[in-house]
Structure 1
Amino acid sequence: MASGNLLHQWFPTAERPLIISAPMFTVANGALAAAVTKAGGLGMVPAGMDPTATSPHLAALDEQLTIARQILTNSSSAGVDGSPVPLPIGVGFLTLLASAEAYRANVLPIVRKHRPAFVWLFGSDPADYEPLVGLFHEAGAEWGIKVFVQVGTVEAARQAVRCGADVVVAQGSDAGGHQFAAAASVVTLVPEIVDALRGETEFRDRKVAVVAAGGIVDGRGVAAALALGADAVAMGTRFMTCPESDSSPFVRKAILSTSDGGATTTRSSVNDAIMGYPTWSKLYAGRTILHPGLDDIANGVPIEQVHKSFVEAVAEGDETRMITFAGTGVGLANKSQPAGEIVHEVRAEALAVIANLKGNL
């Protein structure tokens, strides 16, 4: 596995260390993505999970990519052949309902129209990504589109690379939101994935980069991830309170008021069922801030009743039963800042940590 400066060759607008904002569905948008990229990171727009012709998710994607281009390059920017220049942001697809034909018919036209620099896939069985990876590589060959695949185990990383992934996102168990139900933290996951992709004969000639995700909130986490062998990091929870984000007020309040994330967040496979959204397979779980629905389940209340209570709370505006996905680093996300400011601050912190370590050794 050759990595090194790959990400900076592929994404020349990015600064080191590279910080990527996660493609958080219902939270990230074109304005947030553009702000992160303008600050020298890589921003992402979520595409949701519905690839059908009438999908509201794809309609929103088209809109948000247009917004991002207007902010970043002016909508009139074009190449010598009149086509739009590649857009230095990514698009995150939740592939739970993936159909290669639906993606070909309904997703690829949007990708060709906006030319994002990369796409990020998550939600399928890791062995099933090959058709989608091939579709995106074919559609974006003209501008060199790259494909990220998010994984939570070493074997899933191997499978992603076999399917053609350019970048493996090694998501540790400290992450907020959906993740592998069986996963280690980045402290062991990242170096084991790096060792596998660099040391095993099958992958030695592959150009693959590794991005660390899960529990990384500040510059100390970035420096640690780089020491573990990652080429870049992805951050989610801290960006949820940005003024540019689409987070609900109760989500912002919950994140900013929660600390000691190891004790105040938990991973569970029942959150989607509580919300009436049981789409994810048993391969995945979700980390949330503790909420009454989980207590109900633990006390034997039937899931149907817990779901009913959740729906009633939503209708009544009762925030006490709302569900907030967040990582264990939530206690380090203690103030709302513009997205670009976060990128600059975290990068400066990371460089300072690295310099300090050099000076002390």
Structure 2
Amino acid sequence: MSAPMFTVANGRLAAEVTKAGGLGLLAAGLDPSAESPHLAALDEQLTIARELLGHGSSSNTALPVGIGFITLLGSTELFRNNSVPIITKHKPALVWLFGSDPSEPLYGELISLLHSVGGSWGLKICVQVGSVDAARQVVRAGADAVVAQGADAGGHLWAKAASLMTLLPEIVDMLKGEFKDRQVAVVAAGGIVDGRGVAAALALGADAVTMGTRFITSPETDTAPYARKAVLAAQDGGVATTASSHHDAIQGYPTWSRTYTARAITHQGIVDLEHGNSVENVAASFNEAKQQGDESRLVTFAGTGVGLVKAPKPAAEIVDEVRSEALQLFNTISARHG
């Protein structure tokens, strides 16, 4: 799966990933309002994906792509009034939810609503989580799948997430033990950029994987030129990236709850904060630099796998390459220990 990265994922990327045998996802953005430019763009990009996949608008079968909704600013009423019409128009195979507190009722309300409106075409709902208890709560709320997001992930993630090495098998074991009568898929996310990561995630119990950072530089994406350059220049991902809630504040983005943080390639604003500058001053410097074309302060959300992204490749080529690498690894391991 390709992750629903806001300002990066679009209809073309989703279609190319799906045509290559994966499942491509589009980003619905942050604004759930009636006049939302994000939702208008989503509608447009879903139409593009439909055309590229040759999926007629009158079809009663699911469009083989997914949509990622950030629920941070949403409510059930806003979702019902503004997002559901787009969902019922295009009939995506999957809706991915992320951004709320799993202990609050919003996820459960949205999952119930989506199952109701999407039952005729078999709509599945997954929720992105970063802890075992969060996975437990969203499955109780009716989620068909969970995205287990580890600490290596780029963009927004759990502030106290463990690495996939421990988070993923613990979620898998919890689901097997507590939800024996349910078939809940587990998708691994965070730090996976090649076949080695895919093979490791599958060995740890994942049913599928999603990659975000690996696709950022693909020609099909809407990635800004400065972000493409930043990803390709980065090395040693743990050193080259920083997890901080200040990435949002610097840009004037909505404030996420303390459950979450965000990982991006380290920029001058983070360096300034580490040297004692205030968020307000750094935000002012960000805005000034942006107006002057200074890219040193711009924010590029990316995971620790960024150091393994060596060159831009088409999305379909990435899917084929990663699949082949993973299969070859399993064959090699099987032969070695057969």
Name the TM-score class by shorter chain: over 0.9
DSSP 3-state at the match of 1:148: strand
1:230 equivalent in alignment to 2:206: yes
Of residues 78, 91, 94, the one that matches 2:58 is 78
Conserved? CA contact 1:175–1:215, under 8 Å: yes
Alignment coverage as a number of residue pairs:
335
1:343 equivalent in alignment to 2:319: yes
Match of 2:16 in 1: 35
1:187 equivalent in alignment to 2:127: no
DSSP 3-state at the match of 1:125: coil
Match of 2:190 in 1: 214
What is the identity, as a one-letter code, of the residue corresponding to 1:142?
S
| Displacement of 1:77 | 5.5
Q: TM-score, normalised by structure 1?
A: 0.91
Conserved? CA contact 1:157–1:168, under 8 Å: yes
1:22 equivalent in alignment to 2:3: yes
Looking at structure 2, the residues matched to 78 and 210 of structure 1 have their Cα atoms a distance apart, in angstroms, of 32
1:64 equivalent in alignment to 2:36: no
Which runs of structure 2 are paired with 1:273-288 in the superposition (5 Å)? 273-288=249-264
What is the identity, as a one-letter code, of the residue corresponding to 2:20?
A
Match of 1:314 in 2: 290
Of residues 332, 341, 352, the one that matches 2:308 is 332
Looking at structure 2, the residues matched to 152 and 40 of structure 1 have their Cα atoms a distance apart, in angstroms, of 27
Which runs of structure 2 are paired with 1:263-278 in the superposition (5 Å)? 263-278=239-254
| Displacement of 1:78 | 3.4
Looking at structure 2, the residues matched to 305 and 25 of structure 1 have their Cα atoms a distance apart, in angstroms, of 26
Structure 1 residue runs of 4+, over 3 Å off? 76-79
DSSP 3-state at the match of 1:164: coil
Which runs of structure 2 are paired with 1:235-254 in the superposition (5 Å)? 235-254=211-230
Looking at structure 2, the residues matched to 51 and 206 of structure 1 have their Cα atoms a distance apart, in angstroms, of 31
What is the identity, as a one-letter code, of the residue corresponding to 2:303?
G
Match of 2:90 in 1: 114
1:44 equivalent in alignment to 2:28: no
Cα deviation code 1:145-202 (max 9, x no counterpart): 00010000000000110111000000000001100000101000000000000012xx
Of residues 140, 153, 178, the one that matches 2:156 is 178
Conserved? CA contact 1:127–1:163, under 8 Å: no
Match of 1:7 in 2: none
**Higher mean displacement: 122-131 or 190-199:** 122-131
Conserved? CA contact 1:258–1:264, under 8 Å: yes
Larger RCO, structures 1/2 (Cα 8 Å, 6+ apart): 1
Looking at structure 1, the residues matched to 124 and 112 of structure 2 have their Cα atoms a distance apart, in angstroms, of 11
Q: Return 5+ residue gaps in structure 2 as ranges.
A: none
Looking at structure 2, the residues matched to 143 and 315 of structure 1 have their Cα atoms a distance apart, in angstroms, of 47
Match of 2:143 in 1: 165
Task: Name the % identity.
Answer: 63
Q: TM-score, normalised by structure 2?
A: 0.98
Match of 2:74 in 1: 98
What is the identity, as a one-letter code, of the residue corresponding to 1:57?
H
Q: Return 5+ residue gaps in structure 1 as ranges.
A: 1-19
Looking at structure 2, the residues matched to 316 and 280 of structure 1 have their Cα atoms a distance apart, in angstroms, of 28
DSSP 3-state at the match of 1:140: helix
